[in-house]
Structure 1
């Protein structure tokens, strides 16, 4: 997930970097000597630059919610599950790269997007060929859901953290873990903060050229990295001994763990654009394994030490548990600044998928008006969803279960079966891929159901408590 970088589609990545558009397929068939030709070439990104982009594309707000995910799974089962999920996520990313490379060589194309790969993979199966375009549409739909879901999470994250900083400054901080009524009041107030952020975020997404945001994005990455260092330091140095936490969580809470964890690991959308833009794409496999190993270590370590530090009182984001001293209030504000800038990056993908189709239907004078109107509507939509569901942990779990599980776990194994349908696939590969997709599907259904159930339950509880206070 999750993520500071949102180059989920080839054309999007190219426009951000001002690279040439997709070239026409070469007249001659691809050969082993040119099979690794991509749009990056000599002007593409280096090994280190690609590694940094991969880290940026996988480290975001999802990381801060992992201590609560570990709580839902248990002190032992949680980290072990994160390790297994990390291994499976890396495997699915490598499958996507393998399939894309095979299809691009077969078709003589310089690069393929995620949607392209699914569409052309479906064309390998005769009875799916007529409907292959729906494969591209399906991927785009899940990308839109995922990115707009990230934007909803950002609204909730910004409001919760800024509200907490303001309350500390005013000397009116509530203990949200021991006072049930305080949680209701805080949730109601957080919605007002979301509405306050709305006009500023609308102005932010009016920036259609992300090159203008590049300096702010770099600054945001630095302050978020510094904030993470301070969060790690506080968590590690404040672990209470002896440790008395459940090793295995409740079974009914495990789907919430799944949704949060897959939300954090949903960085598969950046894989193909990064591979396409690399100077030496044949080295991308090493970048992928090295980068995702670092990401998995960060996820497991922060999830574990955060839960060890704050125990059963851990919040939807670990930043909500930080001390009320000035240093950690600055940490929250710095991270909020990074998330604010990142909103524009996450928003870019659904905007680039939806807006061109709408603009192409109107005359030149109305193009700008339609463009800006859609941007306002999409931002307002994400704000409205955040207002309706002001629960950070449940929003993360819901977004992860619905869309991230499909993009990261369900589709890649199926894509391999489609891509190599006519080239012989062992029974072991079929069983392995079927198992991964089945796990993703079960997580999709169970995580979505439990998340929605908990949202409804908390909403009823909120209304009951408000009625009780009025009486």
Structure 2
């Protein structure tokens, strides 16, 4: 955030979006980096769109998996793709809502329901025998690679974090020990760790990609929790869709149509096509765990490691001399190298698992 604040000060603007921040870093950076500013901004833009689109896919698969768990033992087993096909219709309809003020109450209610569900899920977790016997202390290299992508996906909020500081009444409260970032991220991270740790101790190798799938398949309580969690994500789904629509339609495609009198209708067509593309991706990879890892490993190393270190390096290039400049470059190169290694390992492992799961599914149908 200090880098974004410094670039905003140099350009004398109140705030910068993430793509604008990287463009400013290239523009004000050393040498001929300025000629690449537009390309850098566009690449950042594409990664942000992919991240939000991937989030939509994960949400759609999560909803379908929980609906499947509710309905299968009542109405007979159907494939996950069957449920995704039927759920596409309500997802398209809710994404037709254009105004955020109509989406916000539902999202707020859904968040409240999710928080309440967490308490019940913890009750089910601790009602199981919590034991270390039969639990692997350290996973395999493959499992760690998949976890890395999933963990990155869980922490992706780059579309709103960068400009947040300059929109605050007191920007100094953004960072620091008790700042806004720590006040929001530490509780979230704690909840992730506790849910994952105790969930694994309770269910062991039978732990599902979503903890809601480990709840009892019979009985009302488990189904109510799955319904509430699916409903919570259902109300959140159009928010990711809204971000992609804003980035692609309002800031690019809408300008191509000019003063077309059917502009509103074309926006509905775009929103529908976006949902349908999302549906096709979910049909191609109907696996919640792998899709989270794919989205995280593909987008977050760039948005969370490569771009920030590039922005920081270009912004403060002239702030160091002598051995401090050497250490400055060495640190940047080391971070990029570690990030590149993590990206290659996590992304390649995820792609391999996806291809393997597709071929296994085909073999099972032969």
Equivalence for 2:245: 351
Matched residue of 1:360: which SS? helix
Q: Residue 330 of structure 2 is aligned with which of 419, 423, 431? A: 431
Q: Residue 216 of structure 1 is aligned with which of 102, 106, 109? A: 106
| Correspondence list, 1:52-71, <5 A | none
Q: How far is the alpha carbon of 1:221 from its aligned partner?
A: 0.9
Please give the alpha-carbon distance, in whole angstroms, between the structure 2 residues aligned to 1:354 and 1:418.
Answer: 28
Are the structure 2 counterparts of residues 449 and 214 from structure 1 closer, same or farther at C-alpha, using a change threshold of 3 Å? same
Q: How far is the alpha carbon of 1:364 from its aligned partner?
A: 2.7
8 Å CA contact retained: 1:414, 1:434 = no
Q: How far is the alpha carbon of 1:194 from its aligned partner?
A: 0.8
Q: How far is the alpha carbon of 1:410 from its aligned partner?
A: 2.1
Q: How far is the alpha carbon of 1:139 from its aligned partner?
A: 1.2
Q: How far is the alpha carbon of 1:326 from its aligned partner?
A: 1.0
8 Å CA contact retained: 1:239, 1:305 = no
Please give the alpha-carbon distance, in whole angstroms, between the structure 2 residues aligned to 1:268 and 1:231.
Answer: 29
Verify: 1:331 aligned to 2:225, yes or no.
Answer: yes
| Superposed CA offset, 1:406-465 (max 9, x none) | 112221122110111122273444333333332222222222211111111111111111
Verify: 1:412 aligned to 2:308, yes or no.
Answer: yes
Equivalence for 1:137: 42
| Superposed CA offset, 1:182-231 (max 9, x none) | xxxx6xx1111111111211111111111111211110110011111211
Equivalence for 1:125: 30
5+ long unaligned stretches in structure 1: 1-96, 174-185
8 Å CA contact retained: 1:259, 1:398 = yes
| Correspondence list, 1:140-219, <5 A | 140-170=45-75, 189-219=79-109
Q: How far is the alpha carbon of 1:288 from its aligned partner?
A: 1.1
Please give the alpha-carbon distance, in whole angstroms, between the structure 2 residues aligned to 1:305 and 1:432.
Answer: 36
Equivalence for 1:54: none
Verify: 1:268 aligned to 2:158, yes or no.
Answer: yes
Are the structure 2 counterparts of residues 428 and 304 from structure 1 closer, same or farther at C-alpha, using a change threshold of 3 Å? farther
Equivalence for 1:463: 362
Where is the helix percentage greater, Structure 1 or Structure 2?
Answer: 2
5+ long unaligned stretches in structure 2: none
Verify: 1:292 aligned to 2:156, yes or no.
Answer: no
8 Å CA contact retained: 2:48, 2:158 = no
Equivalence for 1:280: 170
Q: Residue 390 of structure 1 is aligned with which of 286, 297, 312? A: 286
8 Å CA contact retained: 1:410, 1:438 = no
Answer with 270-279 or 154-163: which moved more: 270-279
| Correspondence list, 1:29-68, <5 A | none
Q: How far is the alpha carbon of 1:249 from its aligned partner?
A: 1.3
Moved over 3 A (4+): 425-433
Equivalence for 2:317: 421
Q: Residue 127 of structure 2 is aligned with which of 237, 262, 269? A: 237
8 Å CA contact retained: 2:92, 2:271 = yes
Please give the alpha-carbon distance, in whole angstroms, between the structure 2 residues aligned to 1:434 and 1:428.
Answer: 10
8 Å CA contact retained: 2:130, 2:198 = no
Equivalence for 1:35: none
Alignment TM-score, normalising by the size of structure 1: 0.73
- Root-mean-square deviation (CA, aligned residues, Å) is 1.7
Please give the alpha-carbon distance, in whole angstroms, between the structure 2 residues aligned to 1:275 and 1:168.
Answer: 49
8 Å CA contact retained: 1:268, 1:407 = yes
Aligned length, in residue pairs:
356
Q: How far is the alpha carbon of 1:150 from its aligned partner?
A: 0.7
Answer with 386-395 or 226-235: which moved more: 226-235
| Correspondence list, 1:83-98, <5 A | 97-98=1-2
Q: Residue 376 of structure 1 is aligned with which of 272, 276, 281? A: 272
Alignment TM-score, normalising by the size of structure 2: 0.93
| Superposed CA offset, 1:210-256 (max 9, x none) | 11112111101100111112112222332433532111111233211
